[in-house]
Amino acid sequence: MIKAFFGGTFDPPHLGHFQSIDYIQTTLAIRHIDVLPCHIPPHKVSIANEAARLAMCELFIKTRANLSINTFELEQNAPSYTFDTLQYLRRQFPSDCLIFIVGEDSWQNFTTWYRWQDILSMCHLLVMPRKAQQTMRKNNLLTLPEKGSSLPISINSANIYDILPPNSGNFPKNRKKTHNLDKFKQVSIEQMHQILNNTTHGSVFMTNGSYHDISSTEIRRAIQAKQDVSEWIPEPVLNYIKTNNLYQIGDD
Ligand code: ATP
């Protein structure tokens, strides 16, 4: 069985997260996703406290079907390393196919993650496009982590797949990459599912979904500046932010 997890700070959850989830559920046909809010993000400082981020995630998941929240990281009294979370999930689901969903920005920092060499022995990664990678995509480049040229065995031997958009024929043709590894293998969504049905971990899937150029950081800034953010955040989440006076000047 496929178990998909979307980790993040969700400070606050926004349209970018929503669109990623929509693409994964609707186009990639991965039905159920667990939203996994982190406790203490190792790479950034959160502004809203855990209770508020959990409350916003709870409101967020009600905005569409087949979403639930996994509170494992919030319950830990330690930094939320993906490695630790995956060890826990592996113990819980020893023979299931585990998918960890990340944005392309997180993927590019992959080699800075704690025990990153061990991550793909526990799950597949599903990489969603993000704004910073727009230029590279325009130039028909797929991205590898920044230290990709020195990437050791676990990535070299990992299967990195470029998922073709539906009904695309062979488009995009001649997809290049930024580092000197073998060409990415292009697979259809059906072929991706065959891989997921036959393996529990070990592959990286680069998706070709659309992205929305928005981040939680920009939204927090906009709220501080008293700009209208209603296009970017589901209404119940925005009401919660207003009621609880989150992200006001002085909070960061
Ligand atoms: P911040 O601006 O505070 O860094 P963020 O907008 O990146 O936050 P997170 O909650 O940290 O939000 O993101 C969780 C996951 O969702 C990460 O893997 C991130 O790359 C991905 N993500 C965030 N925004 C988008 C977006 N607009 N499109 C696609 N993926 C996104």
Q: Is the CB of 216 under 6 A from ligand 1?
A: yes
Report the SS3 class of residue 168.
coil
With a 6 A CB cut-off, is 50 part of the ligand 1 pocket?
no
Q: Is the CB of 210 under 6 A from ligand 1?
A: no
Res 129: pLDDT? 82
Cα(180) to ligand 1 centroid in Å equals 28
105 Cα nearest atom in ligand 1: 20
Q: Is the ipTM of this complex over 0.85?
A: yes
Question: Measuring from atom 30 of ligand 1, which residue has the nearest CA?
Answer: 103
Higher pLDDT pick, 146 / 10: 10
What average pLDDT does range 131-154 have in this prediction? 48
- Cα 68 from Cα 36, distance rounded (Å): 9
Tell me the pLDDT band of 113, cut-offs 50, 70 and 90: confident
How many CA atoms does the CB half-sphere of 202 hold within 13 Å?
11
Atom of ligand 1 nearest to the CA of 129: 29
What is the residue with the minimal CA distance to atom 20 of ligand 1? Answer: 103
User: Quick check: pTM over 0.95?
Assistant: no
Q: What is the pLDDT of residue 245?
A: 94
Neighbours of 6 (CB within 10 A): 24
Q: What's the CA gap between 187 and 96, in Å, rounded?
A: 22
Each residue's pLDDT tens digit, 187-242: 899 999 999 999 999 999 988 876 777 889 999 999 999 999 999 999 999 999 99
Q: Which residue has the higher pLDDT, 168 or 112?
A: 112
What distance in angstroms lies between residue 181's CA and the mean position of ligand 1's atoms? 27
Residue 172 has pLDDT above 50, yes or no: no
Residue 232 alpha carbon to ligand 1 centre in Å: 13
User: Cβ(17) to ligand 1 under 6 A?
Assistant: yes
Instruction: Specify the pLDDT at position 101.
Output: 97
Q: Is the CB of 5 under 6 A from ligand 1?
A: no
User: Residue 170 pLDDT > 60, yes or no?
Assistant: no
Q: In this structure, which amino acid lies at residue 179? A: H
- Whether 130 is in the pocket of ligand 1, judged by its Cβ within 6 Å, is yes
Q: Say if residues 81 and 16 touch (Cβ distance below 8 Å).
A: no
Average pLDDT over residues 13-22: 93
d(CA 136, CA 131): 10
Q: Which of 41-55, 116-130, 227-241 has the lowest mean pLDDT?
A: 41-55
Q: What is the pLDDT of residue 21?
A: 95
Quote the mean pLDDT of the chain. Answer: 83
Contact 74, 36 (CB under 8 A): no
User: pLDDT at residue 138 above 90?
Assistant: no
Evaluate: CB of 12 within 6 angstroms of ligand 1. no
Preceding amide of 12 cis, omega within 30: yes
The count of other CB atoms within 10 Å of the CB of residue 193 is: 15
Cβ proximity of 67 and 101 under 8 Å: no
Atom nearest to 103 CA in ligand 1: 20
- pLDDT digits over 53-72, tens only? 999 999 999 999 999 999 99
Read off the pLDDT band of 131 (50, 70, 90): low
